[in-house]
Amino acid sequence: MLASEIASQIAEHGKFGGVVPELASRHHLVYAPRLLERATRAAKIDLANVDAFAATSGPGLASSLMIGASIAKGLAIGFGKPYLAINHLEGHLLSPFFNGDFQIKPNISLIVSGGHTMSIQVGGLGDYRLIDRTVDDAAGEAFDKVAKMLGLGYPGGPEIEKHARSGDATRFDLPRSMLDSENFSFSGLKTAVRYLLPKLRGDFLADLCASFQQAIVDVLVRKTIATAKRYDVDLVTVSGGVSCNEELRRRLCDACDRERFEFKSAEPWLCTDNAAMIAFAASLRLDAGFKSKVTEEIDPNLALA
Ligand code: KG4
Ligand code: ZN
């Protein structure tokens, strides 16, 4: 990797407690060209020497996806180079392989982000089969919504994790939904916190954060290990913003050790959204002979599998 630049919009959206689509697209319009300039300067490369141009084509906010894809398509056409439309979720899914031999071995992949929670059976690059997905809130969304109820900042995941460190995770008994059935569900957990809150007095923040985090981690770890056993793979991977969570990383790593699965996670800076993971996915796809048409449209609901 020669350069990785991020123009974070967290401070702007944080004032509103979540992402404001109109604000996001305006920011993309202003910052995407500046980022391109910053990245090429940091990498000390000339755009004319770039082998291919890639952008996220979905899933996500249409008005933001359109800006990135238009820039990448324009560059590809202008310099006569291939264009690659990359699925945002594939970017997450491949990110645990960024620091290795780049061989995408068969694995069970847990993607946990603000918009998605899913487990995927991965056969290799581009070979993905959906196993479980959330039927309501994504894990990150549950962190964000519960943080908001508790008056904590946005995004909620890091805030809850911070308070959870000094808390007693056994103090509040919160639900672990769909442990033994298909798919994931986190809205019951969120609602349980909502009903519990008005009854609480005194100092409860750290214990509630720890109990909530534990409930989510319990579900993710138990279901992922059960899936890995069922599909008879050697490797378990985890990616997406929630996989920054140290408790999740530690518990999943320990469970994999115990059950003799190899475990790979992305480095924390690669877990939350970034362009490097999209470039990485694009470079693997380019090497494997994939290309996209510049007429390929963005798709806000693009599926991975
Ligand atoms: O992958 P990501 O950056 O964006 C999406 O594709 O959605 O994930 C963002 C999500 C947010 O919901 C945020 O609260 C959560 O990841 N997150 C965390 C942590 N860091 C970020 N959740 C739990 N613990 C964390 N340390
Ligand atoms: Zn993401």
Domains in the chain and their CATH numbers? 10-92+271-287 (3.30.420.40), 105-265 (3.30.420.40)
pLDDT digits (tens, 9 = 90+) for 217-255: 999 999 999 999 999 999 999 999 999 999 999 999 999
Answer yes or no: is the C-beta of 278 below 6 A from any ligand 1 atom.
Answer: no
Answer yes or no: is the C-beta of 59 below 6 A from any ligand 1 atom.
Answer: no
Token reading at 50: 């770039």
pTM passes above 0.85: yes
Answer yes or no: is the C-beta of 211 below 6 A from any ligand 1 atom.
Answer: no
The helix or strand, by DSSP H or E, that contains position 60, with its residue range, turns out to be: none
Ligand at minimal distance from the CA of 212 is 1
pLDDT digits (tens, 9 = 90+) for 170-192: 999 999 999 999 999 999 999 99
Gap between the Cα atoms of 138 and 186, Å rounded? 7
Mutation test residue for ligand 1: of 143, 146, 219, the one with most atoms within 8 Å of CB: 143
* Selection from 143, 132, 210 nearest residue 178 by Cα: 132
Using alpha carbons only, give the angle 220, 226, 180 rounded to the nearest 5 degrees: 75
63 CA from centroid of ligand 2 (Å): 16
Pairing of strands 83-87, 107-112: unpaired
Residue 18: the pLDDT is: 84
Ligand at minimal distance from the CA of 155 is 1
Gap between the Cα atoms of 156 and 175, Å rounded? 20
DSSP state, residue 98: T
Gap between the Cα atoms of 221 and 15, Å rounded? 33
Average pLDDT estimate for 12-41: 93
Residue 199: the pLDDT is: 97
156 CA from centroid of ligand 1 (Å): 8
Token reading at 13: 């959206």
Gap between the Cα atoms of 187 and 165, Å rounded? 23
* Selection from 120, 98, 35 nearest residue 267 by Cα: 98
pLDDT digits (tens, 9 = 90+) for 248-288: 999 999 999 999 999 999 999 999 999 999 999 999 999 99
Gap between the Cα atoms of 60 and 188, Å rounded? 25
Mutation test residue for ligand 1: of 112, 133, 221, 242, the one with most atoms within 8 Å of CB: 242
Average pLDDT of the chain, as a whole number: 96
Gap between the Cα atoms of 272 and 282, Å rounded? 18
Answer yes or no: is the C-beta of 161 below 6 A from any ligand 1 atom.
Answer: yes
33 CA from centroid of ligand 1 (Å): 25
Residue 14: the pLDDT is: 87
